[in-house]
Structure formats: C-alpha cells, structure tokens
Amino acid sequence: MELLKGKIVREDFLKARGLGNEIPFWIFDYPPEDEHFVRYSIRKIQERLSSHSIHYIEIDLYELCLEIVLRKIPADTINEFERNKGSEKLLKKLQIILKPENIKKEIQQRVVSKGSPELVLLTGIGKAWPFIRLHSILNNLQPVLGNTPLIAFYPGEYTNSELSLFRKFKDANYYRAFRMIDEGTV
C-alpha cells in the first residue's frame, strides 16, 4: 500500500508518461481476505490525493449497479420477482439491465460531472460480482477515459493477462491493463 500511495501522486503516473501509447489502466490485485484492510487503505489514499490537490473520482461498481437497478425496478418488485421466479432468473434479469454499455454510460456521466478528474479509482469489484465482470467494464471504458489513469482494486489475482476473482473464478483474459505493484518491486 505504501508503494501505491507513493506512485499515484507522481506526475509521470498521472500524465501516463512512459506507457508507450498504452491505455493507463492499472489493476491493484490483492488477496480477498485483505478486503477490509484495502477498504481502509483506499480512504487513506483518498486523503493523500486530496492533500496533493489531485482531482480524483471513486466509483464503487456495486453501488453504481444498485443505483442503476433501483432506478428501473423498485426494491419490493425485485424481492417479489426473486421469491416467485428464483435467484437465477433474477440474476439474468439484472444482468440485462447492467450490460457493460449501461455501466459505461453511467461512469462517463460521473466522470464528466466531476470535471475530468486526473485519476479514477474503481472499487467494489468483488461486491458487484456476478452482475458484472471487470474485463467487460475495462473494455468499455477505454474510449471514455482516454488518457486518464484508472486503478481497479481487484480482490483476486491479475497476471498481466488473466483475471481470477477471489482467486477462484477465472474471468476472461485481459491484456490492456498493467499490474499496479509487481512482486519484483516489493
């Protein structure tokens, strides 16, 4: 975490220098059992960003999904649907509402409303599973964020090509992001 805190306030990182025209998407993967520590650390990271006058936005994917769903379907209706049709059918219905394109539009609106932040922190990835998957969100965000760095806090493992949520569920391969902290730098 200390390496992360130091790296994100550097101008080279915020300006995406040295990436050779690659998209400045970073994945901070961590053991799922460290979730509470990571959540606490994210608050400390936000304090550090603020103290350096770095304009950022945090997007909690789970909270975002809840807002999107509850705008379309009241909570009572969701509960009744699950009681009558079951959890599997509810999941399928919610996944239709939470298509990556819909998530992209919502994130784009938030980024624009924040006045083009210098950094995007993507949290709540584990909580949002199985509604959405990180690789599909990242694929859709590429045209939205341009050269704005994004850090996805990922409870699992990323090997610079494969995502494994909670170190149990293999996600589709994703090659466009960098590991935020490599073991070789620790």
Is the pLDDT score of 183 beyond 70?
no
User: What average pLDDT score do residues 141-169 get?
Assistant: 90
Tens digit of each residue's pLDDT (9 = 90 or more) over 101-110: 999 999 999 9
Is the pLDDT score of 37 beyond 90?
yes
User: What average pLDDT score do residues 132-155 get?
Assistant: 91
Length of the chain, in residues = 186
User: What average pLDDT score do residues 62-85 get?
Assistant: 96
β-bridge pairing 56-60 and 119-123: parallel
Contact 166, 155 (CB under 8 A): yes
Question: If pLDDT is split at 50, 70 and 90, which confidence band does 21 have?
Answer: low
pLDDT of residue 184: 46
